Structures are given as structure tokens and as C-alpha cells.
Amino acid sequence: MSALLEARILFTLWVGRLIVRASEVHGFQLIQGECLRGKQQVEWNASHCAAIVGGKRCEGVKSTHAAGGAHRFVPIGSGNSLHPDGLAVDLLIIKDGKILNDEASYRLLGEWWEKQFPGAAWGGHFRDPGHFSHGFGGRK
Ligand SMILES: [Zn+2]
Ligand SMILES: [Zn+2]
């Protein structure tokens, strides 16, 4: 079996345990955001801007952001993502019928997650608190 397949099997098992724990220990309701992501989507995310301008996502491409312009280019997602490898999942906590953006709640899950197996990584370290991954090949 390839190392990637072994990692994906381990990752999937622990995602299941994470979801059960979130419900049983913390009473959180979760929905799954992105898991497997195509390479084209990864490239698009890395080249389009996530900055919020006038209440909306900019979504302009990197080349349209001049140095010293109105805002700095912030990619929507990393070009180095583990999502296309099936080693990352984005989970969203639902509270009172809405997506919860409170980082402290995600931290309860992230700190537990990182103790469960070697390579387990939580996106709260890079401002993506709903992101849980299995580090692989030096990526998180
Ligand atoms: Zn922008
Ligand atoms: Zn993610």
C-alpha cells in the first residue's frame, strides 16, 4: 500500500472520531465543508484574492494588485493544499442555525485533534480554524 493511501485511511478514521467527539463531548453540530478538492480549484484559490472590500470578497487575480494599492493580495487558499490529496477537511460548527465563527470553539477540537496521531495538524495556526489535516510531505 502506498504511504499516501495509508495516510488517507488513517486521516478518514480520525475525522470520524473528531466528528463524534465534537457532538458527544462538546454538543456541537457540524457540517462538512470542502474535503477533496480538484487541482484546478487549488490553483484558482491560490491566484484569487480573499480580501473583503466593501463587504464583498475581492476575487481579483494577483496581477491586478499593484504594490501600495488599496489592499494587499490575500490568496483564498494555499497552492500547497492537502485537500487535493484527500488529507484535509473543512468542518463548520453550526449554532442557532448559523455557521459559528468563534475560534475558541474550533480550538477545542483543534487542540484535541493534534494530539491524536503524528502529523495531525489544525488550521487555527494559519487563520483557518475549521481546517483539519494530516500533514504529508512537509505540507499541512
Ligand atoms: Zn484583492
Ligand atoms: Zn481546508
Does position 18 have pLDDT exceeding 90, yes or no? yes
Measured in Å, residue 46 CA sits from the centre of ligand 1 at: 12
Measured in Å, residue 57 CA sits from the centre of ligand 1 at: 8
With residue 99 as reference, give the H or E element that holds it. strand 98-99
Question: What is the reported pLDDT for 59?
Answer: 86
| Ligand nearest to the CA of residue 60, numbered in listed order | 1
Write the pLDDT tens digit of every residue in 101-129: 999 999 999 999 999 999 999 999 988 99
Nearest by Cα to 128 from 43, 34, 41: 34
How does DSSP classify residue 84? G
Using CA atoms, how far apart are residues 59 and 50, in angstroms rounded to an integer? 6
Measured in Å, residue 128 CA sits from the centre of ligand 1 at: 18
Question: What is the reported pLDDT for 78?
Answer: 86
Residue 73: CB atoms within 10 A of its CB come to 19
Tell me the backbone φ, ψ of residue 120, rounded to 5 degrees: -65, 130
| Ligand nearest to the CA of residue 75, numbered in listed order | 1
pTM for this predicted structure: 0.86
Measured in Å, residue 58 CA sits from the centre of ligand 1 at: 5
Measured in Å, residue 129 CA sits from the centre of ligand 2 at: 9
Write the pLDDT tens digit of every residue in 31-54: 999 999 999 999 999 999 999 998
* Structural domain boundaries in the chain: 1-37+85-135, 38-80
What is the maximal distance between C-alpha atoms in the chain? Answer: 50
3-state SS, residue 133: strand
Measured in Å, residue 8 CA sits from the centre of ligand 1 at: 34
Write the pLDDT tens digit of every residue in 61-108: 998 898 888 899 999 888 888 999 999 999 999 988 999 999 999 999
